[in-house]
Amino acid sequence: MSEPSIVPPHTRTIVELGMGDGRLIESLAKGDPETIYIGVELDAQQFAQAKSRMHLQNAFVVHGSFEDIVARFPDNSIDGFIAVLPDPAFIDEKREEQWRPFYRVVHAKLKKPGAFRLVTEITDELLQPVGNDAFDRWTVWLVETFKSLGFKVADLYEGPPPEYSSHCLNQFRGDPERIRMMTLELAT
């Protein structure tokens, strides 16, 4: 017998993977009351902060591994996923074979059409400024990797969405030469 779905059947559903203190999901939920927002966070302290700030009827937080939580959603049930500055274990080029299976699951859980917004960063191993050649190679690698998983690229731009705010985003915005961020808008 399969576990019951945790997706409300009557509305759009957006899931943030690794929501941190919940600042972003709270902001998005306030601006879009017709959509259910679910934030997933493994770190107990970050989860507690997020839970204490969520007082909206359309925002929920779940404590646990997003790998375990996402696997519980039915296929073709989620309108969108958001991942902002995922842990290197879930985006690093050197660990690609480890994280590819997870993003295949994300693709399967998305409705057709569905969207996945990934905000990520590249840094130099010696913490030197990231040059355009390195940034461009990294961008091509990311695009090709996600295309190989079945995603289509809807948009791609340097930097995070201007309306996004979190502790890490705000820190990283302060060092744009050494920490170059990119937003990849993916679709099914």
> DSSP E strands: which ranges in the chain?
12-17, 35-41, 59-63, 78-84, 110-123, 152-158, 179-187
Q: Is the pLDDT of residue 7 over 60?
A: no
Residue 154 contacts by C-beta under 8 Å, 6 or more apart in sequence? 115, 185, 186, 187
- List the beta bridge partners of residue 14: 37, 80
CA–CA gap between residue 62 and residue 69 (Å, rounded):
8
pLDDT tens digits for range 98-149: 999 999 999 999 999 999 999 999 988 888 999 999 999 999 999 999 999 9
What amino acid occupies position 51?
K
Average pLDDT over residues 29-50: 95
What percent of the chain has pLDDT above 70?
95
Average pLDDT over residues 4-13: 67
- List the beta bridge partners of residue 157: 183
Residue 34 contacts by C-beta under 8 Å, 6 or more apart in sequence? 11, 12, 58
Q: Is the pLDDT of residue 166 over 90?
A: no
23 CB-side CA count, 13 A: 12
CA–CA gap between residue 14 and residue 36 (Å, rounded):
6
Looking up tokens 């030469």, which residue turns up?
177
Please give the mean pLDDT across all residues of the chain. 92
pLDDT class of 61 with cuts at 50, 70, 90: very high
Average pLDDT over residues 140-169: 94
Structure-derived torsion over alpha carbons of residues 10, 14, 19, 23, reported in degrees to the nearest 10: -80
pLDDT tens digits for range 10-32: 589 999 999 999 999 999 999 99
155 SS3 class: strand
Predicted pLDDT at 6: 58
Predicted structure pTM score: 0.91
pLDDT class of 37 with cuts at 50, 70, 90: very high
- Measured over the CA atoms of residue 172, residue 115, residue 101 and residue 5, the dihedral's sign is positive
